[in-house]
């Protein structure tokens, strides 16, 4: 069973407030991402947070494993490494890396990403391959070598693509949030 790794240790600087706590349809964006992961049957659902963010209790209530990234300022790769380390400790056979700021994400899309468990798969939208993305355990060592704020972009270059143009809507600004609220 693949794990879900929800990267939620970012600063949300463009939005000006923590994205994780933004409400949409009666749930926070973080709760929404965790719910989608659980509905897809991903286990465990690992949430990577900064220690100063106070979302741990709420996500634990959703059955998530919380890991605190005290190196979040180092960039996105530090959260990926922490999530992958946790997935390895919990014997995950693969992992889907996602964020909480793509409100159109569905359990069906997550299942499609993991449909071929030995092959890296990324989401196709806006002319690129991005997250959410699935990585088999055989790719974990490469993910543990990542540094900085670029994420796993290089590993996704030749990935199997699961198209979903709706994922182009990610909440980075108040205008993005207004579009999501209008959509839902």
**Which pLDDT tens digit goes with each residue over 58-102?**
667 788 999 999 999 899 999 999 999 999 999 999 999 999 999
DSSP 26: T
Range of the domain at 87: 3-183
pLDDT attached to residue 57:
65
Give me the CATH number covering residue 35.
3.90.550.10
Q: In degrees rounded to 5, what are phi and psi of residue 97?
A: -95, 130
Higher-pLDDT residue of 86, 177: 86
The reported pTM is 0.94
Number of domains in the chain: 1
């Amino acid at each position: 069973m693949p794990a879900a790794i929800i990267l939620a240790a970012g600063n949300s600087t463009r939005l000006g407030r923590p994205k994780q706590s933004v409400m949409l349809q009666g749930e926070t964006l973080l709760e929404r991402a965790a719910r989608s992961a659980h509905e897809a049957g991903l286990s465990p659902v690992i949430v990577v947070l900064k220690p100063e963010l106070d979302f741990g209790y709420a996500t634990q209530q959703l059955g998530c494993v919380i890991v605190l990234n005290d190196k979040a300022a180092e960039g996105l790769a530090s959260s990926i490494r922490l999530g992958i380390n946790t997935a390895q400790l919990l014997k995950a056979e693969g992992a889907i890396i996602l964020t909480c700021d793509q409100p159109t994400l569905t359990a069906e899309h997550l299942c499609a990403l993991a449909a071929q468990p030995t092959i890296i798969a990324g989401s196709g939208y806006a002319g690129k391959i991005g997250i959410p993305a699935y990585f088999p355990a055989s790719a974990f060592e490469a993910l543990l070598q990542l540094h900085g704020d670029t994420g796993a972009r290089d590993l996704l270059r030749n990935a199997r693509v699961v198209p979903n143009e709706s994922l182009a809507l990610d909440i980075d600004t108040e205008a993005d949030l207004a579009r999501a609220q209008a959509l839902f």
